[in-house]
Structure 1
């Protein structure tokens, strides 16, 4: 599969209906690691997350195929929000399954769109399994947040925008949950900037992809609570993103909860930018290992800004 071609096709589908987000040079992080660090601000994307790209690409692809069944998905919030927005944009019905503990602000944002919402389970992975089974039983189209070629390709359009502004960056860092974001970006970058290192960043409390890649086989690991709710939970055993991460990701960095919180505060202090926990994971990776990024150009994908008031309050009060 030439996934980079899928990324290019995805860009044609979505470019007029998502933001081309800024690539901001960070004096703060550049000075910290004695290199050149850029922030790809998907935190300023429509819906506040990169997830708007993949969802729109998938639903446009469904329309192109002439498929009529109800599209449904499962999400902790950001993917569901992107999906809901895309449904409204394309004037189609859709349904979002959410875990009971999904962030309230994200749930309310999803409900602001004309989609059906149903709750099941307390772990994002359990919600995914239930949603997929329910879709199969009803003949619906299940849209995975990450285990889907068109979703991955849509997220990969970020790679096109990065290379349009910065040729051959030394490193690109992205937070990894199910692996759709880094698989999409990595597939495009591997074709057009093969010397670039692709680095996956995960919270220590939810490291399933990194542990699985390092073990060379799927490992199911029970997640602990994390500020990085956008990347929390496991991934499906047969997910195409596992093979892609094995092939494309050069290194993984694990980040503690205190380091995530510190990165969120630092983004407010140094750039006046509000980011969510999953974005803080990638930012914290450069803060944690500055020597790894010295004398190079590095892009951090700041994946989202949808942090709840309660979590933000806990971060700012530390």
Structure 2
């Protein structure tokens, strides 16, 4: 049986050139402020503005000609839907994306702009996932999971391979956690290539679904509140393949407040002149919270995306400046 790490290495070659290698940039401001050597993985500069293009491209690639005949169905809180829409457009595959009615309007518009059919569900992100899977079975179309699929996780894991190739001496990597696909893939790659590197998972306090499941030892439902980190929200699907992977690869877990997220987003804007979304701010906030512990260390933070409404970003900047 092919291991997840072997799948990641195959994906690392297979998704090129459709998915570019993102740069790892040193942050002068954060390095000075936190008294450590801070590097930023620029996933927010990806096409569609998110790391999600990795897993989407890999899943569409592995489906091959079957997907071209039938088209595919997926569910998303926004970024994954854009990734699948882009991958489908490049491969000549029709894409239908199910989203919750609470999904950011700008993300819905971006999905449609890439040529995908959008179906809005009156319910939660998990409700959209369940309906997308049901329609996939009814209509005989492959389902492209946002995280609950080993090919998707392997695509996200290519980020971990890039990190090792760009900086093999990292002491820690900070990653925002939603369904666990990103940290599961990155963590798997780093455990194989650089076991000394600590994998730190960070959650907004308003949405700790995977963390609560890890603490419970099984996948549980968790109440959620509104958060700047809308890209990481949504319950973990029952039986998700990411749950055992996250149990294996996450070395440290942290939670951050909305104030900490907004402050982190502002620091990145001031230091790098980048507008990042809340989920990326979550990872930065985790590093800031544990700065004393990582003083003098070389650390990387995954800036997972930039897809945030301008009004929401400006409100966060105002909140952080007060």
Instruction: Provide the C-alpha distance between the structure 2 equivalents of 1:104 and 1:242, rounded to a whole number of angstroms.
Output: 30
1:202·1:281 contact (CA, 8 Å) conserved in 2?
Answer: yes
Instruction: Provide the C-alpha distance between the structure 1 equivalents of 2:211 and 2:253, rounded to a whole number of angstroms.
Output: 6
Say if 2:12 is the partner of 1:11.
yes
Deviation for aligned residue 1:136: 1.4
Say if 2:218 is the partner of 1:182.
no
Tell me which residue corresponds to 2:56: 55
2:30·2:271 contact (CA, 8 Å) conserved in 1?
Answer: no
- TM-score where L is the length of structure 2: 0.95
Tell me which residue corresponds to 1:273: 274
Instruction: Provide the C-alpha distance between the structure 2 equivalents of 1:66 and 1:52, rounded to a whole number of angstroms.
Output: 17
Tell me which residue corresponds to 1:94: 95
SS in 2 for 1:107: helix
1:32·1:287 contact (CA, 8 Å) conserved in 2?
Answer: no
Q: 1:34 to 1:74 in 2, by over 3 A?
A: same
SS in 2 for 1:227: coil
Tell me which residue corresponds to 2:261: 260
2:230·2:278 contact (CA, 8 Å) conserved in 1?
Answer: yes
Kindly tell me the number of residue pairs found equivalent between the two proteins: 318
Say if 2:160 is the partner of 1:167.
no
Tell me which residue corresponds to 1:144: 145
Instruction: Provide the C-alpha distance between the structure 2 equivalents of 1:117 and 1:311, rounded to a whole number of angstroms.
Output: 23
What 5-or-longer segments of structure 2 have no aligned partner? Answer: none
Deviation for aligned residue 1:142: 1.1
1:174·1:182 contact (CA, 8 Å) conserved in 2?
Answer: yes
Tell me which residue corresponds to 1:72: 73
Tell me which residue corresponds to 2:34: 33
SS in 2 for 1:234: coil
Residues 157-202 of structure 1: CA deviation (Å, up to 9, x unaligned): 1111111111131101111000000011111111111111111111
Deviation for aligned residue 1:113: 1.7
2:74·2:81 contact (CA, 8 Å) conserved in 1?
Answer: yes
Deviation for aligned residue 1:215: 2.3
SS in 1 for 2:292: helix
Tell me which residue corresponds to 2:284: 283
Instruction: Provide the C-alpha distance between the structure 2 equivalents of 1:21 and 1:67, rounded to a whole number of angstroms.
Output: 28
Deviation for aligned residue 1:208: 1.1
SS in 2 for 1:225: coil
Q: 1:203 to 1:131 in 2, by over 3 A?
A: same
Q: 1:66 to 1:85 in 2, by over 3 A?
A: closer
Instruction: Provide the C-alpha distance between the structure 1 equivalents of 2:91 and 2:301, rounded to a whole number of angstroms.
Output: 31
- TM-score where L is the length of structure 1: 0.97
Instruction: Provide the C-alpha distance between the structure 1 equivalents of 2:265 and 2:192, rounded to a whole number of angstroms.
Output: 32
Instruction: Provide the C-alpha distance between the structure 1 equivalents of 2:39 and 2:126, rounded to a whole number of angstroms.
Output: 32
- RMSD over aligned CA atoms reads 1.4
Instruction: Provide the C-alpha distance between the structure 1 equivalents of 2:264 and 2:56, rounded to a whole number of angstroms.
Output: 28
Deviation for aligned residue 1:119: 0.6
Say if 2:121 is the partner of 1:120.
yes
Deviation for aligned residue 1:316: 2.4
2:67·2:93 contact (CA, 8 Å) conserved in 1?
Answer: no
Which stretches of structure 1, 4 residues or more, deviate above 4 A after TM superposition? Answer: 64-67
Task: Out of 295-304 and 30-39, give the one that drifted further.
Answer: 30-39
SS in 2 for 1:37: strand
Instruction: Provide the C-alpha distance between the structure 2 equivalents of 1:128 and 1:251, rounded to a whole number of angstroms.
Output: 28
1:29·1:286 contact (CA, 8 Å) conserved in 2?
Answer: no
SS in 1 for 2:191: helix
1:261·1:277 contact (CA, 8 Å) conserved in 2?
Answer: yes
